[in-house]
Amino acid sequence: MQRTIANYFSLFRPHHWVKNLLLLFPPFFGAKLLDPQVTAAILPSLVSFSLAASCGYILNDIWDRKYDILHVSKKYRPIASGEVSIVTASILAGLLYFSAMIVAGSVSTRFQGFVIIYLLTSCGYTMYFKNLVIADIFFVAFGFLLRVLAGGQAFDIRVTNWLFLTVFIVALFLATGKRLGELISLKEDAQKHRQSLNQYSPSFLEGILWFCASSALVTYALYTIENRSGMFYTVPLAAFGLIRYIYIVKDGKGDPTDALLKDPPIMATGILWVAAIGNILYTG
């Protein structure tokens, strides 16, 4: 019984829910995170997106089960290993979808629309676009960007042009790092896991990685200057985080979630960055 519960819990990939904190970017950078109207919508918005994300992950695992069996670590996932049947997983995905829609609807109809767009994007990526070179990176990046836009809708806060651009480039940076990490870690087995990996070369992905890192640093710096609140002094922390991520990608550890949760320097940098911006925006 305990093992069954653990398999279901693993199927939801709860550690990836940390990505949904991007929903809080608009109110956080807008210095409105503590407003009563915002705090009331935080829990339902995070819960709905987390449920939707888990639904997408289950559908991905069902679709990719034949490829996951060949992967060094993904072969232990509940569906690929046979611990959870496809029928059971499909029922769970359906329950998660309807639950996500109900919770998202309690926030607003437009926010619910963003959750639907996110799921459609996730399904499109899983079933087709993940095998298209370059397009696969943009679809992963779009998933990050959608969270920020959904957050703006949930909390009725406008996403500024500079925030939009910075998040998009950083998302593209993280998606590229994930691909390069997969290419390095899987080596000659890369094409067996994902068709698009067969069309990438390490040098090409490294070029995109450095391009995105440089662009992201510039756009973030310009965003902090426009903000005029002292945020400019957090640019060195952002630079360190970007460079550190590139460093661990070279070891085949490009998953953004794992990088944030398992790499102490990146985790510490993220905490310091949030604390510094929070101090500037909320106590200045």
pLDDT (0 to 100) of residue 193? 63
Q: Is the pLDDT of residue 137 over 90?
A: yes
pLDDT (0 to 100) of residue 194? 66
Percent of the chain's residues with pLDDT above 90:
65
Cα–Cα distance, 112 to 273 (Å, whole number): 30
| Residue 153 in tokens | 């809708």
Q: With bands split at pLDDT 50, 70 and 90, how would you rate the model's confidence at 134?
A: very high
Q: Could you count the other beta carbons within 10 Å of the beta carbon of residue 284? A: 9
Q: Is the pLDDT of residue 191 over 70?
A: no
Percent of the chain's residues with pLDDT above 70:
94
Mean pLDDT confidence for 59-80: 80
Q: Is the pLDDT of residue 189 over 70?
A: no
187 burial (CB, 10 Å; 0-12 / 13-18 / 19+) is exposed
Asked if residue 191 lies in contact with residue 197, where contact means CB atoms within 8 angstroms, the answer is yes
pLDDT (0 to 100) of residue 188? 65
Higher pLDDT among residues 27 and 226, named by residue: 27
Mean pLDDT confidence for 79-98: 89
Q: Is the pLDDT of residue 2 over 60?
A: no
Mean pLDDT confidence for 85-103: 93
Question: Nearest to residue 203, comparing CAs of 231, 184, 223?
Answer: 184
Q: Write the pLDDT tens digit of every residue in 113-131.
A: 999 999 999 999 988 888 8
Q: Is the pLDDT of residue 181 over 90?
A: no
pLDDT (0 to 100) of residue 98? 96
Helix axes of 36-63 and 86-107: crossing angle, nearest 10 degrees: 160
Q: Write the pLDDT tens digit of every residue in 268-284.
A: 999 999 999 999 999 86
| Residue 80 in tokens | 């690929």
HSE value, Cβ hemisphere, 13 Å, CA-based, for 235 = 17
3-state SS, the chain, equals CHHHHHHHHHHCCHHHHHHHHHHHHHHHHCCCCCCHHHHHHHHHHHHHHHHHHHHHHHHHHHHCHHHHCCCCCHHHCCCCCCCCCHHHHHHHHHHHHHHHHHHHHHHCHHHHHHHHHHHHHHHHHHHCHHHCCCHHHHHHHHHHHHHHHHHHHHCCCCCCHHHHHHHHHHHHHHHHHHHHHHHHHHHHHHHHHCHHHHHCCHHHHHHHHHHHHHHHHHHHHHHHHHHCCCHHHHHHHHHHHHHHHHHHHCCCCCCHHHHHHHCHHHHHHHHHHHHHHHHHHHHC
Point out the least confidently predicted range of 67-76, 115-124, 143-152, 258-267.
Answer: 67-76
pLDDT (0 to 100) of residue 229? 80
